Homo-oligomer: A and B are copies of this chain.
C-alpha cells in the first residue's frame, strides 16, 4: 500500500495508472477561445503544436463572464471561418464547441471564485463578476478537456495571472503557458472586439499601444515613479480623446499596485474607443 503526502505525487500515481501499458505517451495542449479567431489565437495553437502531440481548441462564448450590460449577444461569431482557420493550421486534433445549454443547464449553480484582490482590481473594477465567470468556465473546460498544457495570450494578462493562480490553488495539473500578444503593424493588439471599431476608431485605437510603449521607454530612461508614468500615459491617451477605464502599474504576480518600480512590473490599461472597450499591457523589467 502506497502512502502519498503531496499533490504532485498523487497526480503522478493516478496518471501512472491511467497511462499504464501505454506505448506512446501523448501530451495534450489546449487553447480556450471565444471564437472569431485571429492570428493571436493561431499563434497559441502554433506554440502548442511545438510542445504537444495533440492539440485541442475550444470555441465557447461564455455567458458567465459577461456583465448584464456587456456585449454577450453582439459578440462576433463565425464558426465556419473559425473551423477553416483551425484546419489550415494542420495542428489541431480536436475542437470542443459546447452549447451554452451544455455548459450551463437549467439550475446551474457552481462557481469558482478567488477570495483575494486579484479579481477586484484592473478589469475587475468595471467588470464585476467577470473573472468569476472566466475561472468557472476554465475549470469546466479543464475538467472536460484534461489538457497537459494550456496556452493563453499575454494581451489578457490579468486573466492569465488569475487562471494560473486558480490552477495552482485547485490542484489542476495543467501547465499554463503565456504567449506574446500578436499585433497589427501599427501596434494594435489583435482582439475579436476590434471588429466593432469604425474605420475612424480603428485609426485611433493604436494610441493604447503607443502610450504603453512610451511608458516602457520612460522606465528604460530611469523613471521609477509609477504615478509619473501613469500620468504620462493618461496624458497621451487624452490627446486622442479616448475614454480611459484604467491605467495601472502592478506587481505581475499579485496584481497589487506598485509605487516605485523595481524588478518587473506590469503596466495595464483599458480604454473605450467609441463604445468598444480595448485592453492592453506591457511588462517593464528594470535592473536594480
Contact = CB atoms under 8 A, between A and B. Distances in A.
Contact of A139 (B10, B146, B170): B170
Within the oligomer, what is the number of copies of this chain?
2
Nearest to A83: B3
A211 to B, nearest CB: 31
Contacts of A145: 10, 14
A112 B173 CA distance: 17
A221 interface: no
Given A5-B99, A99-B5, A118-B109, A140 B171 contact: yes
Interface residues of A, number: 65
A22 interface: yes
A55 to B, nearest CB: 10
B23 A21 contact: yes
Interface in A139-186: 139-141, 143-147, 165-166, 169-173
B93 A2 contact: yes
A11 B146 contact: yes
Q: Which 6 residue pairs across A and B have the least CB separation, nearest first?
A: A110-B169, A143-B171, A109-B116, A21-B23, A14-B146, A10-B144
